[in-house]
Chain A
Amino acid sequence: MVKKSRRKMMNEKTQVFLNGRFIGAHTDGANLVKRLRERRRMNELSNQVNVYYNNRLNELHILTDKGRVRRPYIVVEDGKSRMTSEVAARLKNNEINWNHLVKMGIIEYLDAQEEENCLIAFKEAQITKDHTHMDVDSSNLFGVVAGALPYPEHNSSPRITMACAMTKQSLGIYSTNFFQRYDTRTYIMSYPQEPLVQTSLYKALKLREKSAGQNCVVALTSYHGYNMADAIIVNRSAIDRGLERVTMFKTYETEERMYPGGQKDKIELPTPEVVGYRGDESYKHLAEDGIVLPESEVDSKDVLVGKTSPPRFLEEISVFGTVEEKKRESSLSLKSGEKGKVDSVLITEGPSGNRMVKVRIRSSKVPEVGDKLASRHGQKGVIGLLVPQENMPFSKSGITPDLVVNPHAIPSRMTAGHLLETLGGKAGSLGGIIANATAFSGDTEEQFQKTLKAAGFEETGEEILYDGITGKQIKSKIFMGVVYYQRLHHLVSNKMHVRSRGPVQLLTHQPTEGRAREGGLRFGEMERDCLIGYGASMLIKERLLEESDKTVQLVCTNCGSIATHDYARNKDICPICDSENVEPVEMSYAFKLLLDEIKSLYIFPRIILREKG
C-alpha cells in the first residue's frame, strides 16, 4: 500500500536508491542508467560502483557497499567486443596490463544485481547485437578448483564435483616453507610432478610450484580380478622407485604448566622415584634435558619429552616433618600404533609464557594395499594389489604400466575427460609438451593422435600388451596412457584398527570406544534386534555379556542385595543384613550399576534367587 501511494506521488518517475536507501526520483531512469555506466567506463566514476535498473518496478539501484561479489567481464558494444585484436596484441607485448584494461573500460566488474540487466556471451563467436558483455574466458564459469581440472566439459557434472572434493584431499606440497612449520599433521610428497595435462588456470595459479600428484602410466584393463569395484593395481617396482610416496609430519607438544600455589611442571628426565615411572626402556631416547634427540627412531608409547608434575594433593607430610617431594610422571609419549623418526625439536614459549617443547615426528608413508588414489576426474580407487614389475603386462618396447585401472570404471560414470587426459598425457610425454586441457578451449583428440602417430604409436592410444606372467600376447589391444594421479590423505596405516582384548571403561566395565583408545566396535540396538529375530539367544549373551561387561557378584539370599567378600574374616557377608547366605551370581556390570543408580533414587531393589532349572 505504501509503495502504491508513493508511486502515485512520484508521478511514475523512476525512483533512485543508493545502497537500498531512497534518495530521489528521475524522469528517465533508463537513460540515467546508461549515462552512469558510460561515465564509469570513462573512469569518471569508480569502477566499484554498480548500477541496476528494474524496469518492472521502475526503480534504479546504485550499489557501492562492501561485500558484493563481483566478477570481471569484457564489455561488448554494438555486437563487438571492446577487446580488439589491437588491444590483445598490446597486452601480449606487456605494454598494458589488467589494471589498464579496467581503466580503459574494456573490462568491467559486475555484481549480482547489475548482471540482471546484462546479456553475457559465453564466447566471442556467440556475440549478437543484444549482448552487453562477454566472459573473459569461457572456462571462467568454473571456480578455482574446477578450473584447474582437465577437460571438465567432457565429464558428467557429479564427477566434476567429486574431482573437486578429491583434489582438496590430495597430498603434495602444501606450502613451500614446510620445514619451518610445526603443523599438527601434514604430508609432503617425495617426488611431486606437474601434470602433463594442464589448464590455463593451473598455470595462472602457479600450482605447478605446489603440485600434488604424479604422472602415471595407466593401463585400462583388468588384472586377475584384483581391480574389481574401483580397486587399483599398482606396480610395486614403481612404488619402490618412489611413486606416490609421501612423508607424514606430526607435531607433538607439551608445556610446563603452572598450578595454583606457585607449583610448576618440569621438563626433565624422570627419576625412578617419580610416581608412575614408566621404566628405563621408555626414556631411552631422551637426552639429559629430558627431550628426545633429533633423528632418533621412536616407536609407539616411547617418551618424547619427559615431564614431571607436582602431586595432586598436598597432604603427604613425612614423619620427619618435611614435605616429601612426590612428583607425578606426566611425560609426552608417542601415540599407540605410530612410529617414525624425530625430525626436529623446538623449544619455545607457550601462549601463557610457559616453556614449551614441540617435537616433529617424520614417518615415510609408502603406498600400500588400502591407500586411496584418484585421478582428476572423480575416478577414485583403493590400491588392491601391488604387483612386481616383472608380472605386469608389458608392451613390445618394454613399457609396463604403473597403474592398472578397471575399464568398468568408465562407461557408467561418463568421464570421457579421463580418457582424453590419458591420450593427452601420452602425447605430451612422447612429444615433450604439456597438453592444454582448459575447459572449452583445450587441445583436441586429433592433435594428440597426430603426435602419437608421429612418435610411432597407435593413434587410438591402444597398445598390444603381453601378459607379464605367461608372456603370451593379450588378445585385445589395451588402452594405455599417462594420467595424473593424486594420493589422497586416507591412508590405511592411519585408520586400520583391530581389537580382541583391550581396555574397558571405568564406569561400566564395557569396552572403550574409538581407535585412539583401542576400542571395540559397538554391537548396537539394531544389531541386537537382528540376533533376537534370528533366535540366536546364546550369541546375544556372548556379545552382550561374555565379550563385554560380565561380572560375578555376590547376592544375599536373605535380603536380595549385593553382598561382599570380607577378606579379614575370609567370609562372604551381606553388608545390609549380616547374613552369610550369599550366592555368586553372573550378571552384567551394567546391571549392577543400574541397581546402584536405582538405590540413589531411594528405591531398594532386591534380587530374588531361584534354583536354575
Chain B
Amino acid sequence: MTEKESKKKSVFESAIPPFEAVGVVCAQSIGEPGTQMTMRTFHFAGVAEHVPTGLPRLIEIVDAKKEPKKPIIDMYLKKAYAKDQDAAEKVARDLSAVFVSDVARVEDDLASLSIDIIFSEKDAKAQGVTFNMVKKALEEFSPDLKIADNVITLKPAKAVKETKTPKKPKAKKEGDAAATVAEPTATKEKKITAKYVRKLSQKVRDAIVKGIDGIFRAVVIKGEGEYFIRAAGFNVTGAILNEAIDPDRVYTNNLKEIERVYGIEAARKAIIKEINDVMDLQKLSVDIRHIMLIADAMTTCGQIKPIGRHGLSGEKVGVLGRAAFEETIKHLINASAFGEEEKLIGVTENIIVGQTVPVGTGKIKLVMKNKKHK
C-alpha cells in the first residue's frame, strides 16, 4: 500500500457512516463527563479568580448568555511594545478605567445641595491621575466648581435640562399619520432637590477620569516570550483603538462580543475553544469533533443561537418533537391555530407515533434496479 493509499484509507475509515446519530453521540460524549465535573471545582488566584469554570461556565456558553458572569479580555501588543514590560505596564494603565471614586472621596452635602469631592493625592498618584483630570471629568456635570485646597465643591447646574425628547412617531397605527410630527424639544429649568443631588453624587462617583469605559483592572502578564495585557471588562472595540494593541490578537471569553466585533466564524472558533478549555481544566477529554458539532449547530444561522427552548430545540420542525421537549400546550395550541402538519421527520416524533426512527438502520432503504423502468 502506498502512502497515498493508506492515507486515503485512513480518511475513509475515520469518516462517519451515513445516518449515524451524531447529535445524540455528541450530547452523550459531553454530557457524561459533565456529570463528573459538577463535584470538582478548582480555585485560582489572580484576575481570573471568580471566572466561572466547570458546569456553570459550560451552561453559560451553551445558553449563549448575553454577558458572561466575568468577562475577560486578553490583549496582545504590537511588536514595539510586546517585549518591553514598562511599555506594556503603561498601556495597561492607559486602558484601565479610573473612576472618580477611585481617586477621591465623594460626599453629598444635602444642606447646601452640593457635592464635595475630596481629592486624594496618594490614590491619584498610584493611578497616574492628576487633579486637573478629575476637575475635567467633573466639568461634565456642572461648570459650577469651587476649588478649595484639594476639595472640589460641585454645585449642580441649575440651568437647562432636557426633559422631553421628541417622541418617536407611532407607526403602524392607521390614520395617525398626521400625529407623527415630532414634538419640539422642550427645555425646562430643573429644580434641584436633595433627591437629585444624591442621584448625581452617585453618577459623579462613577464618572470616568481616565481610561476606557468597560476595561477594568488591566494587568500585564508574561506570556510566551512577550507581555500581554489581561483585563476584566467587555469593551473590545474600545480597547483595539489603542495603538499599542494588535487588533488581530485580542481574545475575550465574551462570545457575543467576539461575534459582534470579529464575526460569526470567529465566534464559532471561540465556542470550540471555550468548551475545550472547560474540559481541559478538569482533565476531561472529549473529542474535538463533538465540540465542533455543537459550535457549528450554534452558529450556522449566522448568529450565536443557544441550545434549548429559545434556540435549537425550540426550532425543531416537528410539532410533536417540540411539544415533547418543553411547553407542550403552547406548541400544540399554536400548531392547531396555524394548521401545522407534522411530517414525522424527527426522532422523537416517530417514537411517539410508534414507527422506526429515521437514524441508523431505520433510514436505510433498498432501491431495486428495474430494467423496464430504466
Contacts and interface: CB of A to CB of B under 8 A. Distances in A.
B21 A532 contact: yes
B261 interface: no
Contacts of A586: 354
Contact of A533 (B24, B332, B341): B24
Given A532-B21, A532-B347, A608-B341, A537 B354 contact: no
B360 A537 contact: yes
Interface residues of B, number: 27
A587 interface: yes
Interface in A593-613: 594, 598, 601, 603-604, 608
A538 B333 CA distance: 32
A410 B17 CA distance: 49
A545 B356 CA distance: 10
B351 A533 contact: no
B352 A535 contact: no
A528 B27 CA distance: 14
A36 interface: no
A598 B340 CA distance: 14
Interface string B355-372: 111111111000000000
Contact of B21 (A535, A587, A590): A535
B21 A538 contact: no
Interface string B321-363: 0000000010011011000010000010001111111111111
Contacts of B354: 541, 544-545, 550, 586-588, 591
B317 to A, nearest CB: 16
Contacts of A532: 21, 24, 347, 357, 359-360
Contact of A590 (B333, B335, B352): B352
Interface residues of A, number: 26
Contact of A588 (B28, B329, B353, B357): B353
B24 A601 contact: no
A529 interface: yes
Contacts of A454: none
Nearest to A586: B354
B333 A534 contact: no
A13 B335 CA distance: 79
A540 interface: yes
Given A603-B332, A603-B333, A587 B20 contact: no
A contacts with B: majority SS: helix
B288 interface: no
Contacts of B358: 537
B359 A535 contact: yes
B353 A587 contact: yes
Contact of B357 (A541, A591, A604): A541
A533 B362 CA distance: 12
A528 B348 CA distance: 10
Given A532-B347, A598-B332, A537 B353 contact: no
Interface in A522-551: 528-530, 532-538, 540-541, 544-545, 550
A151 to B, nearest CB: 34
Given A536-B361, A591-B353, A608-B341, A529 B332 contact: no
Interface in A422-444: none
Contact of A537 (B27, B332, B333, B357): B357
B19 interface: yes
B25 interface: yes
Contact of B28 (A529, A535, A550, A590): A529
B352 A594 contact: yes
Interface string A384-405: 0000000000000000000000
B33 to A, nearest CB: 15
Given A529-B28, A544-B354, A601 B361 contact: no
A533 B23 CA distance: 8
A77 B137 CA distance: 75
Given A601-B333, A603-B332, A603-B333, A535 B20 contact: yes
B353 A540 contact: no
B351 A540 contact: yes
Contacts of B333: 601, 603
A537 B354 CA distance: 11
Contacts of B336: 601, 603-604
A606 to B, nearest CB: 9
Contacts of B359: 532, 535, 537
Interface string A371-394: 000000000000000000000000
B355 to A, nearest CB: 7
B329 A601 contact: yes
A528 B352 CA distance: 12
Interface of A: 528-530, 532-538, 540-541, 544-545, 550, 586-588, 590-591, 594, 598, 601, 603-604, 608
- 9 closest A-B pairs by CB: A535-B360, A537-B362, A588-B354, A603-B336, A533-B24, A545-B354, A537-B356, A537-B361, A587-B354
30 contacts: A528-B351, A530-B28, A532-B21, A532-B347, A533-B24, A533-B25, A534-B21, A535-B19, A535-B21, A535-B359, A535-B360, A535-B361, A536-B360, A537-B358, A537-B363, A538-B362, A540-B351, A540-B356, A541-B355, A541-B356, A541-B362, A586-B354, A588-B353, A594-B352, A598-B332, A601-B336, A603-B332, A603-B333, A603-B335, A608-B341
Given A535-B361, A537-B363, A544-B351, 17 more contacts: A528-B351, A532-B360, A534-B21, A537-B356, A537-B358, A537-B360, A540-B351, A540-B357, A541-B357, A544-B354, A545-B354, A587-B353, A588-B353, A588-B354, A591-B354, A601-B332, A603-B335
